[in-house]
Structure 1
Amino acid sequence: QNSRRGNSRTPPVVVRFLIFFDFDETIVDETSDDQVVQTAPGQHLPAWLKDTYQPGRYNQYMQRVLAYLAEQGVTESDIRGVMEKIPATPGMLNLFQFLRARPAQDFEVVLVSDSNTFFIESWLRRNGARQLFHRVLSNPATFSRDGRLVLRPFHAHDCPRCPENMCKQVIVRDYVARRAQERGRPYQRVFYVGDGANDFCPALALGPRDVAFPRRDFPMHKLITETHEARPGEFKAVTVPWESAEEVAQRLRKLVAE
């Protein structure tokens, strides 16, 4: 039966390019985890709570922060309201408009972020951008019956560079491999738009035809520059730094026309 159904399907649109976006300080001009603190009493967290943070275990720390906020009576709509107001980075909404206006076979757009699904979905829906994204790959977050936003790790991995709940390189490699298998062919090019140190790791997986778009003078850009100097040839992708996402749109326009 499956094979009969398979034969009657119209062939899927084979998309030419895959573009990944980070969220915090890439799509939005702030860090969503910092912004949620605005919902706390006095808009700050108590010192005892901040002191529980341990390097590499940020996800667990945020789980405690969200539990504390729920205890203080912070509601789902309080959190959503704060997320919806985060400003986009310069030019980002124009870049989204450009991507939306392209034919379906040009870009598959994926969001990969160490924030969480509730923060991200709240912002995307408010800004009319949810439909643009084929997938949102982030730490799962859902509200429990008692009104607490419960955060879970995205996955487990062995990468020494990344926090234990998320290695974006593992996510990017798995996604690209799975989609190539489903499509029966690879993408012509893969793009990655990011800013942080955890965006450098996935960008290392890009090949010489791919393009890394690091936000200018942010950690991802600095790490790429340092790698080029210290270990030439290790970072393979073309690098296009940006201050406004308009610069990303300009480069994509050229690549699509090739």
Structure 2
Amino acid sequence: MTAPPNLSHAAPQQQRFLVLFDFDETIINENSDDAVVRALPGQHLPDWLRNSYREGHYNEHMQKVLVYMAEQGVSEDSIRSAVEKIQPSPGLLSLFQYLHSHQQDFELAVVSDANMYIIETWLERAGVRHLFRKIFTNPASFGDTGCLVLLPFHSHSCSCCPENMCKQVILREYLAGRQKERGGAPFQKVFYIGDGANDICPSLALGPRDTAFPRRDFPMHKLLLERQQAQAAKFKANVVPWVSGEDIVDCLKKIMEER
């Protein structure tokens, strides 16, 4: 019998495509912070706390919410349980199944203004954490007081984004870093899947070979339609709205057939 070839020294095949996911209302079907608040005994915030939010300072507001929840005796177990019960968006598990079966072609990352504790907890529970090479989000961990401590992801100078995160800065830096690590080879195409207004900024960095997938009738979709209708605002990437993850699978299958 002929011995099988030694494949241990073969150069790994580089993935051709990069898929970037938002988390809230994209991977999951609601805002994860709303789910966390349901762990409170009364399942909602007092008016004084809810009304303390300042535009562009959501991260800071959420830290106040988490401190209040700890003061009300909400435990880590209660928060984890609330996160694990969040439902995925329609068809997203089918999309993950497809991407899992084509791991040699697709590199995956999360870019989200949620936080690391919530995202990792949910992805682990769903059994898909291993699919993601990188998670870009706000750091979060439980401190000695039992409170989930939330920190800003970075500082930036983009006037369009919240003070703690500009997703376009993250996207550009990641693409440049990965190209260097890949020996100068860029990704053939980049796909960005999102729903919110803060997903517009990174989408503006996409090129004509790339695709933005806005969730249909959500803020990202509506804002992209406005841009497409405005003569002066040119948007380079292809735009494919989605209702279900299966819509994205259908589009990716067509792209795979093009090779």
Could you state the TM-score of these two structures normalised by the residue count of structure 1?
0.94
After superposition, the C-alpha distances for 1:149-189 in whole angstroms (9 at most, x for unaligned) are 00000000111111000011111111011101111210000
After superposition, the C-alpha distances for 1:70-116 in whole angstroms (9 at most, x for unaligned) are 11111111001001111111100000000001142x00000010000
C-alpha distance in 2 between matches for 1:55 and 1:37: 20
Is residue 24 from structure 1 mapped to residue 24 from structure 2 by the alignment?
yes
Structure 2 counterpart of 1:140:
139
Could you state the TM-score of these two structures normalised by the residue count of structure 2?
0.94
What letter matches 1:222 in structure 2? K
- Per the TM alignment, residue 232 of structure 1 is displaced from its structure 2 partner at its CA by 5.0
What letter matches 1:20 in structure 2? L
- Per the TM alignment, residue 146 of structure 1 is displaced from its structure 2 partner at its CA by 1.4
1:235-246 matches, cutoff 5 A: 235-246=235-246
C-alpha distance in 2 between matches for 1:72 and 1:193: 36
- Specify the SS of the correspondent of 1:28: coil
- Per the TM alignment, residue 231 of structure 1 is displaced from its structure 2 partner at its CA by 3.5
Q: How many residues align?
A: 250
C-alpha distance in 1 between matches for 2:185 and 2:252: 21
1:26-175 matches, cutoff 5 A: 26-104=26-104, 106-175=105-174
- Per the TM alignment, residue 256 of structure 1 is displaced from its structure 2 partner at its CA by 1.4
C-alpha distance in 1 between matches for 2:140 and 2:188: 33
C-alpha distance in 2 between matches for 1:233 and 1:10: 46
What letter matches 2:44 in structure 1? H
C-alpha distance in 1 between matches for 2:37 and 2:79: 9
C-alpha distance in 2 between matches for 1:156 and 1:96: 31
Structure 2 counterpart of 1:202:
202
Q: What is the Cα-based RMSD across aligned positions, in Å? A: 1.3
Is residue 212 from structure 1 mapped to residue 212 from structure 2 by the alignment?
yes
Gaps of 5+ in 1: 1-7
Structure 1 or 2: more helix by fraction:
1
- Per the TM alignment, residue 198 of structure 1 is displaced from its structure 2 partner at its CA by 0.4
